[in-house]
Amino acid sequence: MSEVVEKNGAGTAAQLILELLPEPVILVQGREGEAPEIAYGNQAAREVFRIELAGAPLGAALRRPEVLEAIEGALEVGGSAEVAFETIGVQPRFWRAFARPLVSEVRGLRQLVVMLRDETDARRTERMRADFLANASHELRTPLASLAGFVETLRTHAKDDPEARDKFLGIMAQQATRMARLVDDLLSLSRIELNEHIAPSGKVDLARTVQDVSDAIRPLTAERQVTIAIEPSPGVGSVTGDRDQLVQVIQNLVDNAVKYTPPGGKVSVTLQAVANLEGARAPSRAGFGLSLLSPDTGEAQAYVVLRVTDAGPGIARQHLPRLSERFYRVEGQRSGGTGLGLAIVKHVVNRHRGGLTVESAEGEGSTFSVYLPAAVPSS
């Protein structure tokens, strides 16, 4: 008696566990010459594959012919099968199905357990890795090919032409600088990513840092005849952060703004203290805005908002969501950059548990805002 109870208890527990598994599990069965049916699907299977009733034909849940073929084949010979497939919907998902035979107690009935694994995230990561490598190699190869071309020209045609030689050496120096910057940016991005999970603990005076960056960038602004106006920011205290990384953030935003401002124009930088997340996210101007990053927590947290506004060409709406992707550049704009600047900004701000928004419209300039947790004032 007790043995039966124990056995039943174990059976129920096993069923419960099966029911609660996050991954879909289906029991398929069939007799020779009949189409296989679904004898059972756990909760995940019922939700994902919309299995409504036990006894439904397998083809109603798994519609892909290659999957049906593999499972039917395994059922027929009492063997195993493994097959990868894609479900199409609002969001396509990638699955891998593992079919394993069960020894059925009923004569003539063939049974098979099909376990499904969602491989969408793994695929996406793999895809991103491959894209990243392809992009990085492409970005390095272009200046490298140009360098190699000029070396060849200098050795042959331009060998005895001092004027051409000077010109080519100038271009070569530019290309080498570009490559060095690309490598620096890539290294810096990977360093930031490595410690992104560790929030910084230092205290940074943002107003001071903005001033330092603006001083450092003066040669560029003079060359482009652009002025940087730093609005006074009374009452703005320090933020919790890593100074070197915040310098990178300000540098990238100001550098972009200066780059896209026509000669004689003005870039404005403001700092504002706000009491909570809602205040940090509030729009700064009329028109369209988009959050590119926002912290998971910290609603009641006080923030300091840094805004960089330019009167450049602005950015069309469809590009906004992708601006902080690595290597993304708006087509037709000759930025001369590699498209890593805003990716660096985003990762640094993420490490700081802050947020990033962009407000822009074509012909109406752009405002990039970064908000960072305010440091608790030391008494």
We find the least distance from the C-beta atom of residue 307 to Mg ion, in angstroms, to be: 17
Which of ligand ATP, Mg ion, none lies near 37, with the C-beta cut-off 5 to 8 A by kind?
none
Q: How far is 56 from 35, CA to CA, in rounded Å?
A: 10
Which of Mg ion, ligand ATP, none lies near 242, with the C-beta cut-off 5 to 8 A by kind?
none
We find the least distance from the C-beta atom of residue 202 to ligand ATP, in angstroms, to be: 25
Report helix angle 162-194 to 341-351, nearest 10.
20
We find the least distance from the C-beta atom of residue 343 to ligand ATP, in angstroms, to be: 6
The CB-nearest residue to Mg ion is 341
Extract the tokens encoding 353: 């548990």
Which of ligand ATP, Mg ion, none lies near 338, with the C-beta cut-off 5 to 8 A by kind?
ligand ATP
Q: How far is 198 from 9, CA to CA, in rounded Å?
A: 46
Q: How far is 50 from 85, CA to CA, in rounded Å?
A: 17
CA-derived radius of gyration, the chain: 30
The two most distant CA atoms of the chain are separated, in Å, by 104
Stretch that binds Mg ion, among 9-17, 210-218, 236-244, 252-260 (CB under 5 A): 252-260
- Number of chain residues interacting with Mg ion (CB under 5 A): 3
* Contacting residues toward ligand ATP, per CB under 6 A: 185, 252, 256-257, 260, 310, 312-313, 315, 323, 328-330, 333, 335, 337-343, 366
In the complex with ligand ATP, the residue whose CB is nearer, 291 or 335, is 335
In the complex with ligand ATP, the residue whose CB is nearer, 150 or 368, is 368
Which of Mg ion, ligand ATP, none lies near 272, with the C-beta cut-off 5 to 8 A by kind?
none
312 lies in the binding site for Mg ion (CB under 5 A): no
| Helical ranges in 283-361 per DSSP H | 341-351
Q: How far is 258 from 267, CA to CA, in rounded Å?
A: 7
We find the least distance from the C-beta atom of residue 92 to Mg ion, in angstroms, to be: 32
341 lies in the binding site for Mg ion (CB under 5 A): yes
Judge contact between 41 and 25, C-beta under 8 A. yes
In the complex with ligand ATP, the residue whose CB is nearer, 143 or 313, is 313
256 lies in the binding site for Mg ion (CB under 5 A): yes
Q: Any residues with CB less than 8 A from the CB of 84 and at least 6 apart, and which? A: 94, 95, 96, 97, 119
Judge contact between 280 and 305, C-beta under 8 A. yes
Extract the tokens encoding 164: 């051409």
Binding site for Mg ion (CB under 5 A): 256, 337, 341
